[in-house]
Structure 1
Amino acid sequence: MKLPASNAPSLFDRKILDLHRARARIEDLFLHRAAADEVHDRLKLVNKTFTSPIIVSPFPKVWTERFPEADVVLDDDVLELSPASNDLVIHAMALHWANDPVGQLIQCHRALRPDGLLLAICLGGDTLTELRAALGQAEIEITGGLSPRVAPMGELRDLGGLLQRAGFALPVADSVPLSVEYRDLWHLMHDLRSMGETNALSARRRTLTRRGLFNAAQAIYSENFTSPSGRLTATFELICLTGWSPDDSQPKPLRPGSAQTRLAHALRTDERKLPD
């Protein structure tokens, strides 16, 4: 399934991302397990039995624990998916690292049979807002500049729009906020490193960061984002995207002007003409 080559610069450095993921500890992937539980719960609400599920994930073991009947492919730029071969595709906690997220969704769409379901889950724009703010303020105060240290992540509305661009029917996007407490900034960064979620931006600073910057960020974080227990609060936003491969059996939206009942009648109010 070959997509046209793009000349656009890559936002993420895939070699560094792969290196970070290789160092991840499977027992520390709590965000992936939370996402797998969320996907599992949502699928139980779908009135359909899936017989050929496939999962796109950088960490197959976590997802096969929850979905042992599913095949798994890695989230490469070109996915190892066959056209019209699956009735369920789960894109699992990788879309926020994609250089071409709409391309990923298009490939998933092509892999689905008619009336097949895509369920994509990824980190959204509210993720690590506290860390982003603390590091940014500390760097401005110490160096007078600002460098990209936390990857930008898609907002709910924007990610929902990708479903339509990729050709999915009945698109839905919603989010699930998670709040996690940490002893200090270094505890949080250790967790991110253990999950393979540290900075892999192509434009990241390549020199070592002075410890003084992290000390300043710790102080700012502690002053502004502390829980009642005295620990640091970190927000992770899981965004869930669902869309269906179009099929004639699916409900269709009414054409504009085709409604048979006036709004005033539905609301049980009087319909009055506005003055000229």
Structure 2
Amino acid sequence: MVKANNLIFEYVAHNDRGEVEGVHRAIDDVSFDVKKGDFIAILGHNGSGKSTLAKHLNALLKPKSGTLLIKNMDTKDDQHVWDIRQSAGMVFQNPDNQIIATIVEEDVAFGPENIGIEAGEIRRRVDMALEVVEMTEYAGHSPNKLSGGQKQRIAIAGVLAMKPDCIILDEPTAMLDPSGREEVLKTVQKLNKEDKITIILITHFMEEAVLADHVYVMAEGKIALDGLPRDVFSKVKTMKDLKLNVPEVTELAYELKQAGIDIPTDLLTIDEMVESICQLQ
């Protein structure tokens, strides 16, 4: 689905005279593969390069060097840009930046209409997308009257109506309350498990990353750690050195181990913690 080889991207700052004042390497020799149907989480503190990487996956940015292939289409090739954006849809942090129509179903229909899909097929896609995100009853509503979580689900429906193979979500729950976060994550998991859509989730919430099949941790434009969530989060000291937290259960297990209690340090859930403590007796 996605193949990145030695990606490099730099932001160049210019002064008022147009002269180069500084260069910041936001992505520094990054390589990774994502298979169809995977659920990938990308973590990193602010400035780590994770959102810049997300924009590359949708061909909003192009690498300075290296290659990024989406379904074997090179993102540097201008003639593939629209095919790439149909294959890899993007959901941004603030749903208000992505919702443009005054009626929910019109907003979901916007993408297919703009690529010339015939009216009957657009109707089918809109109905399908709203059903998947469980927002059918709001089809005739104004997006302005929806909660943050509902708006984000509408934004996801708009991407779904384009029938993508992959959805990239750039911190989609950062502006939501716990209820809204739960709504969006439930939708994302459903898309991945039931509809087999590849998910690439950019997040700074460790509890969200736990849901993924594979986690990449970025720092200073590089991939600093990667592996199964259980393996990555068990490296508590390394994560803290990278200025990142780990799930609360994992941190508690780490502290107990440091205190001399013989308990596994790769625990992710409360149930696992309870089971491990019971086995100590």
Give the TM-score category using the shorter length. under 0.3
Q: Which has the higher strand share?
A: 2
User: TM-score of the superposition, structure 1-length normalised?
Assistant: 0.28
Q: Give the structure with the higher percent helix.
A: 2
The structure number with the bigger radius of gyration is 1
Q: TM-score, normalised by structure 2?
A: 0.27
